[in-house]
Chain A
Amino acid sequence: MTDSVASTSSVITAAEVVSQLRSGMTIGIGGWGSRRKPMALVRAICRSTLTGLTIVTYGGPDVGLLIAAGKVRRVVCGFVSLDSIALEPHFRQARQRGEIELTELDEGMFYFGLLAAAHRLPFMPTRAGLGSGVLRVNPELRTVRSPYADGEELVAVPALVLDAALIHMNRADARGNGQYLGPDPYFDDLFCLAAKRAYMSCERVVPTAELLDAGPQQSLLINRSMRCAVIETPHGAHFTSCVPDYGRDEEFQARYAAAAAGGPEKWQEFAARFLVGTEAEYQAAVAAVMA
């Protein structure tokens, strides 16, 4: 009652997230491959009028869905994979048709790019990328020479500065603290720190005092200084994994991949069934076919 801070709510809707984004923005998406992706927010963007986005991600079906919806100009990544299904069909097709631009980085370079942005540094030095095709296909990448006695030449990974970051957590409170309960934080805090604005969907918004009921203090990955707006989207990482709340929906992912690889007709059928409606309609349609 007397706690005025506690009354400050950062909770908004997915529709409000979309209304704060603009076409042409550079958007970072947390998670990894087909793991703990903010899929409800991705689906909301797919339903929007946004276009020309640059998507910065350890890529999974987030990339595929956004490409299929015509939202993507460029992907910045080290890979795009569905994990249990190695290749992402929409990403493959878009690349093979020359429909999207790609900034292809080594996974470690990508990490250092996020670190640089989070630290407000112009770049981070690394050996990763030296001698590889990454430097050939990204001619804008530069190397730096160590100013010390070793004089070693290193790749200067430029900061991956984001207009917005989207992440998904297991739990959050209304003020913007976030908690992951699965095995891996991935890089979600860095995405938020690298971004001008950050959006955190979660399985459940709980009172602050209940956060530690679910996991140890080390699971509190996102703090309020990361200024995340909070969106409660139960099952919002579906069909990617969000353990311990739920694992990857392998059956549905296989259905997605088959539709995506099956040509325009199969994909239209899938999209009409699952993707045209609201998030609640998506979840209901999934529950209906998977029952």
Chain B
Amino acid sequence: MTDRLAGTTGGASLAEICIVACAEAWRGDGAILASAIGLVPSLAARLAQLTFAPDLLVTDGEAGLVVPAAAGLAGDGGLAGDGGTVQEGWLPYRAVLSPQVASGRRHVMMGAAQIDRFGNQNISCIGDWARPKAQLLGVRGAPGNTVNHPVSYWVPKHSRRVFVDEVDMVSGIGYDRAAKLGSPGFHELRRVVTNLAVLDFGGPDHSMRLASVHPGVSVSDVAEATGFLLAAPYEVPVTRLPTSDELALIREGLDPGRRRDLEFA
């Protein structure tokens, strides 16, 4: 894959393409909390805040809300990403769970051990819940997140083990289940970013749809790695490449130690 990518990406690595694709999930969200689980989504949230979504609220991984220390963004000749951050607010866990989540002022990007066609997600356990084959994290906040505010997912290894017909323990709920609730319409799954593609829920009945393939990836590559039928437009676009400003921010500001490559090893 890396070989196929060479020459088509303007020098951007797969990790960098994925970070930008994840950052795009928060475009247009305004002043809401961008929560990110895992390194790639965390870098993506910071990148979005530094560039096209400056109003986003981003945490330091604990209870601090942080903004770029330097006012100048890329383009002003300055790199805010290397200036560190200053704390602008305080959001301990209890304030995240209630009311930040329940008020809808949040968009989280979580992982998914399994996800189905309608976006039902599982991070709890694999196999029979009563005695699982593999105990994972537990449902965490996924049930509450998905009935309250936008949710996106990051899947570093797109495969039929993850993209399944039916998940073993519904943690975050999908469009089919949300439609049956009769609750206010706070359920929204924005996008799923993987190492192969970007997916959204623009298919029939809000089923998963191929939104774009990363450079060097074919539509059939994605279809083969997906355990259900994916909707797709006639022409599938290629995921946009990072701009030179974005690359500079990632490389020199947000992740000079190249921790981002570890997820793609």
A residues touching B (Cβ–Cβ < 8 Å)? 32, 58-59, 77-81, 86-87, 91-92, 95-98, 104-109, 111-112, 126-134, 136-137, 152-153, 183-187
A-B contact pairs, 5 of them (CB 8 A): A59-B138, A78-B138, A133-B129, A183-B62, A184-B62
- Which 10 residue pairs of A and B lie closest in terms of their CB atoms, listed nearest first? A128-B144, A79-B138, A132-B143, A95-B135, A108-B144, A183-B63, A131-B177, A133-B170, A106-B143, A98-B131
Contacts of A128 in B (CB 8 A): 101-102, 141, 143-144, 147-148
Contacts of A109 in B (CB 8 A): 143-144
Tell whether, in the assembled complex, residue A78 and residue B135 are in contact, meaning their CB atoms are under 8 Å apart. no
Q: Of residues 187 to 238 in B, which have CB atoms within 8 Å of A's CB atoms?
A: none
From A32, A91, A111, give the contact of B98 (CB < 8 A): A111
Q: A81-B137, A107-B140, A130-B181 are in contact. List 14 more A-B contacts (CB 8 A).
A: A78-B139, A78-B140, A79-B139, A86-B137, A98-B131, A107-B97, A108-B98, A128-B101, A129-B143, A130-B173, A131-B147, A133-B129, A153-B181, A184-B92
User: Given A104-B124, A132-B171, A134-B143, are A80 and B183 neighbors across the interface (CB < 8 Å)?
Assistant: no
Tell whether, in the assembled complex, residue B93 and residue A127 are in contact, meaning their CB atoms are under 8 Å apart. no
Give the shortest distance, in Å, between B85 (CB) and chain A (any CB): 14
> How many interface contacts (CB-CB < 8 Å) are there between A and B?
137
CB of B182 closer than 8 Å to a CB of A: yes
Q: How far is the CA of A80 from the CA of B140 in the complex (A)?
A: 9
CB of B74 closer than 8 Å to a CB of A: no
Q: How far is the CA of A62 from the CA of B217 in the complex (A)?
A: 45
Tell whether, in the assembled complex, residue B141 and residue A183 are in contact, meaning their CB atoms are under 8 Å apart. no
Q: How far is the CA of A153 from the CA of B64 in the complex (A)?
A: 34
CB of B180 closer than 8 Å to a CB of A: yes
* Most-contacted residue by chain A among B132, B142, B143, B173 (CB, 10 A): B143
Closest to A86 in B: B137
Contacts of B94 in A (CB 8 A): 111, 185-187
Contacts of B131 in A (CB 8 A): 95-98
Tell whether, in the assembled complex, residue B144 and residue A106 are in contact, meaning their CB atoms are under 8 Å apart. yes
Tell whether, in the assembled complex, residue A79 and residue B178 are in contact, meaning their CB atoms are under 8 Å apart. no
Tell whether, in the assembled complex, residue A92 and residue B93 are in contact, meaning their CB atoms are under 8 Å apart. no
Closest to B60 in A: A183
Q: How far is the CA of A152 from the CA of B185 in the complex (A)?
A: 12
Q: Count B-side interface residues using an 8 Å CB cutoff.
A: 46
Give the shortest distance, in Å, between B172 (CB) and chain A (any CB): 8
Tell whether, in the assembled complex, residue A133 and residue B93 are in contact, meaning their CB atoms are under 8 Å apart. no
Tell whether, in the assembled complex, residue B183 and residue A106 are in contact, meaning their CB atoms are under 8 Å apart. no
Tell whether, in the assembled complex, residue B139 and residue A133 are in contact, meaning their CB atoms are under 8 Å apart. yes
Closest to B140 in A: A79
Q: How far is the CA of A244 from the CA of B169 in the complex (A)?
A: 38
Give the shortest distance, in Å, between B94 (CB) and chain A (any CB): 6
Tell whether, in the assembled complex, residue A77 and residue B138 are in contact, meaning their CB atoms are under 8 Å apart. yes
Tell whether, in the assembled complex, residue A104 and residue B138 are in contact, meaning their CB atoms are under 8 Å apart. yes
CB of B130 closer than 8 Å to a CB of A: yes
Give the shortest distance, in Å, between B76 (CB) and chain A (any CB): 31
Q: How far is the CA of A186 from the CA of B95 in the complex (A)?
A: 10
Give the shortest distance, in Å, between A3 (CB) and chain B (any CB): 34
* Most-contacted residue by chain A among B93, B133, B138 (CB, 10 A): B138
Tell whether, in the assembled complex, residue A127 and residue B102 are in contact, meaning their CB atoms are under 8 Å apart. yes
CB of B125 closer than 8 Å to a CB of A: yes
Q: How far is the CA of A203 from the CA of B195 in the complex (A)?
A: 45
User: Given A79-B137, A184-B92, are A108 and B124 neighbors across the interface (CB < 8 Å)?
Assistant: no
Give the shortest distance, in Å, between B173 (CB) and chain A (any CB): 4
Tell whether, in the assembled complex, residue B97 and residue A96 are in contact, meaning their CB atoms are under 8 Å apart. no
Q: Of residues 119 to 163 in B, which have CB atoms within 8 Å of A's CB atoms?
A: 122, 124-125, 129-144, 146-148
Q: How far is the CA of A236 from the CA of B90 in the complex (A)?
A: 26
Closest to A58 in B: B93
User: Given A109-B144, A131-B177, are A80 and B138 neighbors across the interface (CB < 8 Å)?
Assistant: yes
Contacts of B184 in A (CB 8 A): 152
Closest to A110 in B: B97
From B122, B125, B139, give the contact of A106 (CB < 8 A): B139
Closest to B169 in A: A133
From A58, A79, A127, give the contact of B144 (CB < 8 A): A127
Q: How far is the CA of A132 from the CA of B167 in the complex (A)?
A: 11
Give the shortest distance, in Å, between B221 (CB) and chain A (any CB): 28
From B63, B132, B169, B177, give the contact of A96 (CB < 8 A): B132
Contacts of B173 in A (CB 8 A): 130-132
Contacts of B147 in A (CB 8 A): 127-128, 130-131
Contacts of A91 in B (CB 8 A): 135
Tell whether, in the assembled complex, residue B142 and residue A132 are in contact, meaning their CB atoms are under 8 Å apart. yes
Tell whether, in the assembled complex, residue B92 and residue A108 are in contact, meaning their CB atoms are under 8 Å apart. no
Closest to B87 in A: A183
- Fill in one digit per residue for B95-129: 1 if any A CB lies within 8 Å of its CB, else 0: 00110011000000000000000000010110001
Closest to A153 in B: B182
Q: How far is the CA of A112 from the CA of B129 in the complex (A)?
A: 24
Contacts of A153 in B (CB 8 A): 181-183
Give the shortest distance, in Å, between B207 (CB) and chain A (any CB): 17
Tell whether, in the assembled complex, residue A104 and residue B139 are in contact, meaning their CB atoms are under 8 Å apart. yes
Q: How far is the CA of A112 from the CA of B144 in the complex (A)?
A: 12
Tell whether, in the assembled complex, residue A187 and residue B135 are in contact, meaning their CB atoms are under 8 Å apart. no
